[in-house]
A and B are shown apart, each in its own frame.
Chain A
Amino acid sequence: MSVTIIRKKKKFSDQPNFSVKKMYRPSDVKETGLAFIGHEISDDGKVMNQFLHYDQLYTIRHGWNSKFFKGLLEGKIWGTRCPKCGDIWVPIRTHCWNLDCDLEITEWIEMPLTAKVHTWTIAGWSGRSSLKRLPIILVYAVIGDSKVAIANELHGIDPWDVEFQMPLKVVFKPKEERVGAVTDFHFEPAEGWTPSPMNPEKERIKKLVEPVYEWVKTMK
């Protein structure tokens, strides 16, 4: 009689345990799966439309990038640096972008909370989840000695006063409001910065932005 011995498979790595867990999801959002929830038929009887609803909870697994997002909860901006070529990035890269460095694994460094505007725009329209916050000043800014610019909102000034190269500070939301996303911080002008006088471009922007303020007031 032959005996088959089944050995317990060795685990490749230990499963992490998640004892800190917070859900910000509104209580009225239900994960219902796929559902056909209605239909409409045209008056001439020729065409039918059907309404499909689904609501899906995704898990974004930050994995090796986790330190950056965890840092936001703590009011810190983490960057990474290549130990070979010295390039620094926020947003971070876990491997160097320089092909001569052969995907060198980068090291984490804490970035200063100062930045400079590289370019900017003033949004008068946005995605569904941002409409009520319009107008929004969006800047691409270089934090510290980063080789790349990161996008975020600029608060604390009138939209028409934003300037190229203006110095900024990184400002975090109060700790209890942070969720570990880039919206945990925004930029504000650095101490001592003052806007330049009004000019024709600023007047033009002001004229374009005024109806946006009015429109947002009418939103429910």
Chain B
Amino acid sequence: MTRRVCIVGGATTPFDYGPTGFESIEGGAAECIREVQRDIPNFSLIDVDLMIYSHFSVHFGHQLCSEWIIHDHLGLVGVPHYRVENGGNTGGSALYAAALAVKSGQHDVVGVIGWETMDSVSQSQGSEFIALASDIRYELLVGGIYPIYYAAMANKWMKDNNVNEEDVASIGAKNRNHAMDNPKAQWYRNEHKYITVDDVMNSRLISYPIKKYDCCLMSRGVAFLLVCSEEYAKKVNPDHYCTLDGLGLSSCTIRAGDRLNFPGWTKRYGEGYPEMTEFGACRASAEMAYKMADIKNPLKEIDFGEIHDAFSTSEAQIYKALGLADTENIAQFLRDEQTHMHGEIPMNPGGGLMGYGHPVGATGIMSSIECFYQLAGMIPKKHLSKKTEVPNANCGIVNSHAGTGTSISNFIMRRH
């Protein structure tokens, strides 16, 4: 029997974009840790025996090995450290690495720090930098930015599943409105307004069927999560720690057009899957996590999720890949608002990538932190009200997602 992996604390800097109030990446990391120390005063950096750094792109960081700057700034010489990079799933992959480190028994207390400074270049240049994670020989010059690839996938998915623009627009409005209850969220700190489905529908075209308010935010931010053994969890946060009961990580093609007939998928799930429409890596990694956490019916057994809403369309596609709905009922599932706060399984009560923000390396860590806050009963303390608290939450799912669905991780977290 391997060891249980626990989460005892976490915090982010405010997510933002532009010149306001930037504290430096190492300063931000230090402030996240100081906030965690206020939440769990028995935690000291002296206890940390591994640091994993979660950072996507040197193009944004304009510094190779910027984790080295953070690490010694925190006073951590001698403690082992390395960086994990896996596109938009960098945060999820870093959490996966931390969980393995604890599970193996090699480490007891693992700090995970994620960050990205996407405002070091213009928005359009930033979009192009992200698109360097597409196959630049074939796709960069003809698509240019990720929303275009996602729009092409979503357009067919929506037709195949009878989902319309309004159905997905409700997700764009939902997550931004959740962010209005979260003082660290970029949407709260900048645009700061409640929006409607009509606002999403009337926002400017990015790539049909995706409009501006169907897209996530480009952000700057830092996040810290503390992952540890159960022994340490009982020592520093005995009443409110969470257990990471399921982990899954899976992969798919870099070019979305390559997954129409991929033998590896055909063998696993049969002909015609995942097509260019479904996220096979999400399904496969969810299945791994569910099996490990003994989840048979995710819709009934999981209370809420913090998932990778890079686009409102992809959040809807993720619902299906997580097994919350199928082709027959996904449209009705969306129309019944099953993932709103009043629904069966609220998704992204923290605001998600569209509301909280998407500083790539920090994003999966932020999602894990929001999931932890819900389970640890910390929402009234961390959010502005109880509006975005999932009552009596016992089990949450965290999802982190890269490329065109090229790498995806899922985690099941439970209140202990």
Chain A interface (Cβ < 8 Å from any Cβ of B): 42, 47, 49, 52, 60, 62, 65, 69, 87, 89, 91, 97-100, 118-131, 135-136, 138-140, 142, 147-153, 159, 164, 181-183, 204-205, 208-209, 211-212
Most buried by B among A99, A119, A152: A119
Name B270-314 residues within 8 Å CB distance of A: 276-277
Cα separation A142 to B276 with both chains bound (whole Å): 12
For A47, list chain B residues within 8 Å (CB): 19, 22
CA distance A182 to B22 in the complex (A): 40
Query: Chain A at the B interface: mostly helix, strand, loop or mixed?
Result: mixed
Are A125 and B258 within 8 A (Cβ)? no
How far is B376's CA from A99's CA once the two chains are assembled, in angstroms?
A: 45
A-B contact list, 17 entries, CB within 8 Å: A89-B258, A99-B264, A119-B277, A121-B155, A122-B208, A124-B207, A125-B205, A126-B124, A127-B140, A138-B207, A142-B260, A148-B257, A151-B142, A153-B142, A183-B141, A208-B205, A208-B211
> Scoring B residues 32 to 75 as 1 if CB is less than 8 Å from chain A, else 0, what string do you get?
00000000000000000000000000000010000000000000
Could you tell me if B128 and A129 are in contact, using CB atoms closer than 8 angstroms? yes
Q: Is the CB of B155 within 8 A of A128?
A: no
List the count of A-B residue pairs having beta carbons below 8 Å apart.
Answer: 147
Q: Which residues of B sit under 8 angstroms from A138, Cβ to Cβ? A: 142-143, 148, 152, 207
Please name all residues of chain B whose beta carbon is closer than 8 Å to the beta carbon of A140 when the two chains form the complex: 152, 256-257, 276
Q: Name the B residues within 8 Å of A205 (CB-CB).
A: 208
Is there a chain A Cβ closer than 8 Å to B239's Cβ?
A: no
Does the CB pair A149–B257 fall under 8 Å? yes
- In the complex, identify which listed stretch (B130-138, B380-388, B391-399) lies at the interface while the others stay far away: B130-138
Q: Is the CB of B155 within 8 A of A91?
A: no
Q: Could you tell me the distance in whole angstroms from the C-beta of A40 to the nearest C-beta in chain B?
A: 9
Q: Is the CB of A151 within 8 A of B143?
A: yes
CA distance A18 to B131 in the complex (A): 30
Query: Does residue B228 face the partner (Cβ distance < 8 Å to A)?
Result: no
In the complex, what residues of B have CB within 8 A of residue A120's CB? 152, 155
Are A118 and B125 in contact, with the CB atoms below 8 A?
Answer: no
| Also in contact, A148 and B261, with CB within 8 A (given A47-B22, A91-B135, A138-B152) | yes
- List residues of chain B with CB within 8 A of the CB of A89: 258
Contact A151 B149 (CB under 8 A): yes
B401 → A minimal CB distance (Å) = 19
B residues near A (Cβ < 8 Å) are 19, 22, 62, 122, 124-125, 127-128, 131, 135-145, 147-149, 151-153, 155-156, 159, 165, 204-211, 255-258, 260-264, 276-277
Chain A min CB distance to B340 (Å): 25
Residues of B within 8 A of A136 (CB): 148
Whether A148 pairs with B263 at a CB distance below 8 angstroms is no
Chain A CB within 10 Å, residue with most, of B125, B159, B204? B204
Q: Within 8 Å CB of B124, what residues of A?
A: 126-128, 131
State whether A123 and B258 are in contact (beta carbons under 8 Å apart), knowing that A97-B263, A182-B138 are contacts in the complex. no
Bound together, the chains give a CA A140 to CA B275 distance in angstroms of 12
- Whether the pair B208, A149 counts as a contact (CB closer than 8 A) is no
Chain A residues with CB below 8 A from B149, complex form: 151
Expressed in whole angstroms, the Cα–Cα distance for A208 and B149 within the complex equals 18
Interchain CB contact under 8 A, A91 and B148:
no
Contact of B255 among A65, A69, A91, A139 (CB under 8 A): A91
- Name the A residues within 8 Å of B155 (CB-CB): 119-121
Contacts A126-B148, A128-B128; A147 near B260 (Cβ below 8 A): yes
Q: What chain A residues lie within 8 Å of B208 (beta carbons)?
A: 121-122, 124, 159, 205, 208-209
A91-B138, A127-B145 provided; 17 other pairs, C-beta below 8 A? Answer: A65-B137, A91-B255, A97-B262, A118-B257, A119-B277, A121-B209, A126-B145, A129-B144, A138-B142, A139-B152, A140-B276, A142-B260, A151-B138, A151-B142, A151-B143, A153-B142, A212-B205
Roughly how many angstroms separate A181 CA and B159 CA in the complex, as a whole number?
A: 32
In the complex, the answer to whether B204 meets A211 with C-beta atoms within 8 Å is yes
List of A residues within 8 angstroms of B144 by Cβ: 123, 126-127, 129-130
A150 to B153, CA, bound (A): 13
How far, in Å, is A158 (CB) from chain B's closest CB?
A: 13
Please state if B151 and A123 are interface contacts (CB–CB under 8 Å). yes
B253 (CB) vs chain A CBs: closest residue: A148
> How far apart are the CA atoms of A140 and B147 in the complex, in Å?
14
For the complex, give the distance between the alpha carbons of A130 and B367 in Å: 33
The docked-state distance in angstroms from the alpha carbon of A121 to that of B313 is: 13
Complex Cα gap A90–B274 (Å):
19
Contact residues in B for A129 (Cβ distance below 8 Å): 128, 144
Contacts of A159 in B (CB 8 A): 208
